[in-house]
Structure 1
Amino acid sequence: MAQPITIGANSIAKIRNRFFLIVEVEAKTTGVEIDPVFGVRTTAQQAAALLRAGVMRTIFATSDPKPSPKKKVELKGVLFANGRIFKVFDVENSTDVSVLVRINLVTAQKLIRSGVRIIKVYRKPF
């Protein structure tokens, strides 16, 4: 039987001069599917070590990713990080990766009012 809790998309994002680990926690079992995304501030040294260990870099795009027969796209939430605002998408094809699309405050507020979640960011590095 598969583990009920796993790590999904995970990547390192450099936003301005700060680094963030963007990670999806997937909890799945009969009748339950929970998959929030979190941001965790890291130091430059932590980010470099994670990248050397094989963690991917977060993808920054200028437009929303489009689903296709081989690609599933899910809007996970709105991320406020280091003075920037992004829509965060989970994109699953041969890999599972986060894609960030920069937006303005008006767009973010509109999305939040429509029910899109705010992604929690742990702002102090561990």
Structure 2
Amino acid sequence: MTTNDVVTIGSNCIIDNDGRFFLLAEIEAKVPGVEIDPIVIIRITADQADKLIEGGLQLCTIQDEPPVAPPGFEVEFKCIFQDNCKAFSIFDVENSTDEAVLVRISLEEACQQIANGARRCTKIRRPFL
């Protein structure tokens, strides 16, 4: 195993929250006995979002119901993302590839899940210019 194999990027996509854009990336650090894979969300500008999409990055899937794992897939709840009076539960859907799926939830439900121990997504609030 090389150091290049220890830390990789899993699911990644662009969140469009009513014209506010974010880069979502799952950072995966894995060695025998250790698996760390948080979701990190970074605010980006509309121009940065456009250029990343032109470069091949996809928009995140946003839906109203949690994803259901088809045979051979695994669905894992990752964290709660709140922005601009909206909230989402984020799930990682994986088989041979990773996909982040955002599920719309109410702010009340987000606060309740966090109070019950759900992790908040790590969020960087200001774009890198």
Q: What is the TM-score of this pair, normalised by structure 2?
A: 0.91
Q: For this pair of structures, how many residues does the alignment match?
A: 126
TM-fit CA distance, 1:63: 0.2
Rounded to whole Å, the distance in 2 between the matches of 1:103 and 1:84 is 8
- Find 1:44's aligned residue among 43, 46, 66: 46
Q: 2:18 maps to what in 1?
A: 16
Structure 1 residue 94, shift from structure 2 partner: 4.7
**Residues 59 and 98 in structure 1, CA contact (< 8 A), matched pair in contact too:** yes
| Alignment match, 1:57 | 59
User: Match for 1:31 among 23, 33, 45?
Assistant: 33
The question of 1:81 aligning with 2:96 is answered: no
Question: Counterpart amino acid of 2:19?
Answer: N
* Structure 1: distance between partners of 2:56 and 2:96: 16
Mapped to 1, the partners of 2:26 and 2:13 lie a distance apart of 9
Distance 1:17 1:103 in 2: 19
Relative to the length of structure 1, the TM-score reads 0.94
For the residues of structure 2 that align with 1:106 and 1:45, how far apart are their CA atoms? 32
* Range moving further from structure 2, 20-29 or 106-115: 106-115
Residue in structure 1 matching 2:120, options 118, 121, 125: 118
Name the SS of the counterpart of 1:51 in structure 2.
helix
Unaligned 5+ runs, structure 2: none
Cα distance per residue 1:50-93 (max 9 Å; x no partner): 11111111000110001232221111010012321000011113
State the Cα RMSD in Å. Answer: 1.2
Give the share of equivalent positions with the same residue, in percent.
44
Instruction: Render the CA deviation track for 1:21-68: whole Å, top value 9, x for unaligned.
Output: 011000000111000001100011111111111111100011000123
Alpha-carbon separation, structure 1, partners of 2:61 and 2:99: 8
Which structure 1 residue ranges, 5 or more long, are not aligned?
none
CA contact 2:78–2:90 (8 Å) conserved in 1: yes
